[in-house]
C-alpha cells in the first residue's frame, strides 16, 4: 500500500519473502525501490496516468530483489478516492509469475531457434493448418515465391501459389498434391510448379508430410526445392556427354583412316624389301634387309592391331558368320606360335575337350586374332614352364554353343591389385604391364564388339 505519491506505507509478509527486503527497509521508500530498469519510462507514465485518473491498472511488471535478482509479477493497482474523487492512496496486489514467464520465454527462445534453423535451410519450408491455410513460410520459401510470410498467413496456400497448372488449366484443390498430407499421406513429387507473386511459374520438387498430434492430423509440413537450375545442369551434362561421345567417335574414325593410310605404304615397304632380298646382296646388305623386313612386319602387325582396335571403338568391326572347325583354328594358331615357344624353350600345349563340335558357325579370323594376341602375350612374359591353350564348352542349347578359350601360363602374372585395373588404360606402372593391357584389352574389346 502507498500514499498518493508512491511512498510505501504498508507491506505484507509475502512481499518481504519475494523481495528479500525487511519491512523496515521498505516502509517510507518509494515504489521505485523495486524498479529493475527493464521497462521504458513510458510504461510507468502510462501506469501512473491510469491510477491517478481513478482507474485500476493491470499489467505484468519485471521487478528487482534486494540482491539484484529479477522476478515477474502479475500486478493490479487500485486507487482509493476521496469524496471529491481524488486518489489519496493505492493498494497493489500481485502474483509471482516468474516460473510461468520463464517457461514462456524458453518456449519462445526454442521457437526462434527452430525458426532460425528452418530459415537457414537451402530449401523452402511451409506449414499448413488442417484447412490448408499457411501458418509458416521460411526465408528461402519467401525468396523463391516472392511472397512475404506475413502476406500469406492464414491464406489458403493452394489458392495463392498452386491454383493453375503449367499448361494454364485450373488445378482443383481435390487434385492438389499440397493437400495429400492433410489426408494423412506423406507425398513426394519430383516435378511440380508453384506460382510466384509476379505470376511466373517456379519449377519445384516437393515432399510433404502430415503433422500429427497423437492420432489426430492437425496440419502438414512440406519442403520444396527450386528445380529450374537442376534441369539446366542436367541439360548441360547431357550436352557435354554427347560432345564427349562425338569426340571419341571422331577420334576412332580418324585413327582408323590414318591406320589405313599408314598400312598401305608399309605393305609396299615389306614387298619391295622382299624383292630386294631376292637380288644379289652382300652378307652385310642382306643382314640390313633382314632387319628391315622383321621391323616392317612387326610394325605392320602393330598397325593392324591399332586399326582393328579403332574399328571396334568406332563400332565398325565386321564379324563374319561362316562354317569353321574350332579344332583347326586352335591347332593352327598354336603352330604359328610354336617357333617363339621353341626359341624360349617353353612348352606350348593345347587341350581341346572331346565334346567340342567339329564344325561351328562364326568368325574364325577374329578368333585366330584373339588367340594369337593372348598366346603371344603369354609367351612374351613367361621365362620358364609352359603355356596352355584350353578349349571347353561353357554352355549348350539345341542350336547354340558357348565355347571358352582360355590361355594360361607360368609367367610372372599380375598382383590382385593389378588385376583390378587390367582393362583400365594409363594406370599401369611398368611397360610390361602396359603391353599386357594392350593385348588383353584388344581381345576384350573384340569379344564385346
User: Would you call 379 exposed, middle or buried from its count of C-beta atoms within 10 A (0-12, 13-18, 19+)?
Assistant: buried
Residue 171 banded pLDDT, cuts 50, 70, 90: confident
Instruction: Answer yes or no: is pLDDT of 146 > 80.
Output: yes
The grid cell for 297 is: 612386319
What is the Cα–Cα distance from 434 to 258, expressed in whole angstroms?
23
Question: What is the pLDDT averaged over residues 154-176?
Answer: 84
Instruction: Answer yes or no: is pLDDT of 229 > 50.
Output: yes
pLDDT for the residue 163: 86
User: Would you call 389 exposed, middle or buried from its count of C-beta atoms within 10 A (0-12, 13-18, 19+)?
Assistant: buried
Contacts of 36 (CB under 8 A, 6+ apart): 62, 63, 64, 70
Residue 431 banded pLDDT, cuts 50, 70, 90: very low
Residue 443 banded pLDDT, cuts 50, 70, 90: low
H or E element that contains 60: strand 57-64
Residue 273 banded pLDDT, cuts 50, 70, 90: confident
Instruction: Answer yes or no: is pLDDT of 414 > 80.
Output: no
pLDDT for the residue 310: 65
Question: What is the pLDDT averaged over residues 136-151?
Answer: 90
Instruction: Answer yes or no: is pLDDT of 212 > 70.
Output: yes
Write out pLDDT tens, residues 84-142: 889 999 999 999 988 888 777 777 777 777 777 777 777 889 988 888 898 889 988 89
What is the Cα–Cα distance from 51 to 137, expressed in whole angstroms?
43
Q: Which of 88-97, 293-302, 430-439 is predicted with the least confidence, judged by mean pLDDT?
A: 430-439
Cβ atoms of residues 422 and 442 within 8 Å: no
Q: How many CB atoms lie within 10 A of CB 124?
A: 24
User: What's the pTM value of the predicted model, to 2 decimals?
Assistant: 0.39
Burial 135-147 (b: 16+ CB within 10 A, else e): bbbbbbbbebbeb
pLDDT for the residue 293: 83
What is the Cα–Cα distance from 351 to 115, expressed in whole angstroms?
76
Collapsing DSSP to helix, strand or coil, 270 comes out as helix
Instruction: Answer yes or no: is pLDDT of 307 > 80.
Output: no
DSSP 216-260: EEEEEEEEEEE-HHHHHHHHHHHHHHHHHHHHHHHHHHHHHHHHH
Instruction: Answer yes or no: is pLDDT of 298 > 60.
Output: yes
Residue 427 banded pLDDT, cuts 50, 70, 90: very low
Share of the chain above pLDDT 90, in %: 28
Cβ atoms of residues 180 and 229 within 8 Å: no
pLDDT for the residue 58: 93
Residue 299 banded pLDDT, cuts 50, 70, 90: confident
Question: What is the pLDDT averaged over residues 193-218?
Answer: 88
Give the residue among 208, 159, 161 at the shortest CA–CA distance from 181. Answer: 208
At residue 416, φ and ψ (nearest 5 deg) are -55, -40
The grid cell for 353 is: 575337350
Cβ atoms of residues 292 and 335 within 8 Å: no
Cell 591389385 belongs to residue? 417
Residues making up the chain, counted from first to last: 449
Q: Which of 261-265, 382-386, 419-423, 425-429 is predicted with the least confidence, judged by mean pLDDT?
A: 425-429
pLDDT for the residue 196: 92
Query: Which stretches of 82-186 are assigned E, i.e. beta strand?
Result: 87-96, 124-129, 134-137
Contacts of 233 (CB under 8 A, 6+ apart): none
What is the Cα–Cα distance from 178 to 174, expressed in whole angstroms?
10
Question: What is the pLDDT averaged over residues 205-219?
Answer: 86
Amino acid at each position: 500500500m502507498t500514499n498518493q505519491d508512491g511512498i510505501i506505507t504498508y507491506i505484507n509478509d509475502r512481499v518481504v519473502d519475494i523481495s528479500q527486503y525487511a519491512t523496515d527497509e521498505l516502509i517510507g521508500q518509494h515504489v521505485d525501490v523495486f524498479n529493475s530498469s527493464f521497462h521504458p519510462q513510458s510504461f510507468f507514465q502510462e501506469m501512473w496516468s491510469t491510477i491517478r485518473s481513478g482507474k485500476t491498472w493491470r499489467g505484468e511488471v519485471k521487478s528487482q530483489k534486494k540482491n539484484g535478482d529479477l522476478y515477474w509479477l502479475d500486478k493490479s493497482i487500485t486507487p482509493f478516492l476521496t469524496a471529491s474523487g481524488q486518489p489519496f492512496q493505492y493498494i497493489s496486489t500481485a502474483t509471482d509469475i516468474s516460473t510461468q514467464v520463464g517457461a514462456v520465454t524458453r518456449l519462445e527462445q526454442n521457437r526462434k531457434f527452430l525458426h532460425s534453423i528452418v530459415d537457414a535451410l537451402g530449401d523452402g519450408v511451409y506449414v499448413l493448418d488442417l484447412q490448408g491455410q499457411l501458418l509458416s513460410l521460411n526465408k528461402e520459401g519467401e525468396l523463391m515465391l516472392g511472397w512475404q510470410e506475413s502476406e500469406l498467413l492464414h491464406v489458403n496456400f493452394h489458392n495463392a501459389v498452386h491454383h493453375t497448372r503449367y499448361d494454364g488449366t485450373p488445378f482443383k484443390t481435390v487434385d492438389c498434391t499440397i493437400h495429400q498430407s492433410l489426408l494423412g499421406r506423406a507425398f513426394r513429387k519430383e516435378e511440380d510448379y508453384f506460382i510466384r507473386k509476379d505470376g511466373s511459374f517456379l519449377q519445384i520438387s516437393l515432399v510433404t508430410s502430415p503433422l500429427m498430434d497423437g492420432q489426430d492430423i492437425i496440419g502438414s509440413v512440406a519442403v520444396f526445392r527450386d528445380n529450374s537450375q537442376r534441369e539446366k545442369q542436367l541439360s548441360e551434362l547431357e550436352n557435354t556427354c554427347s560432345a564427349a561421345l562425338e569426340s571419341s567417335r571422331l577420334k576412332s574414325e580418324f585413327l582408323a583412316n590414318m591406320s589405313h593410310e599408314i598400312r598401305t605404304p608399309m605393305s609396299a615397304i615389306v614387298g619391295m624389301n622382299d624383292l630386294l632380298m631376292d637380288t644379289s646382296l652382300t652378307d652385310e646388305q642382306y643382314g640390313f634387309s633382314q632387319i628391315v623386313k622383321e621391323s616392317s612386319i612387326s610394325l605392320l602387325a602393330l598397325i593392324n592391331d591399332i586399326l582393328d582396335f579403332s574399328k571396334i571403338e568406332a563400332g565398325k568391326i565386321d564379324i563374319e558368320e561362316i562354317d569353321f572347325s574350332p579344332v583347326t583354328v586352335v591347332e593352327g594358331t598354336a603352330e604359328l606360335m610354336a617357333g617363339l615357344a621353341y626359341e624360349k624353350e617353353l612348352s606350348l600345349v593345347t587341350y581341346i575337350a572331346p565334346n567340342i563340335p567339329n564344325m561351328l558357325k562364326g568368325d574364325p579370323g577374329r578368333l585366330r586374332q584373339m588367340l594369337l594376341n593372348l598366346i603371344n602375350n603369354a609367351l612374351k612374359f613367361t621365362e620358364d614352364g609352359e603355356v596352355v591353350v584350353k578349349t571347353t564348352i561353357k554352355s549348350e542349347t539345341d542350336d547354340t554353343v558357348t565355347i571358352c578359350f582360355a590361355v594360361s601360363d607360368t609367367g610372372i602374372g599380375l598382383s590382385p591389385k593389378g588385376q583390378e585395373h587390367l582393362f583400365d588404360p594409363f594406370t599401369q606402372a611398368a611397360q610390361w604391364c602396359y603391353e599386357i593391357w594392350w593385348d588383353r584389352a584388344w581381345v576384350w574389346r573384340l569379344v564385346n564388339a
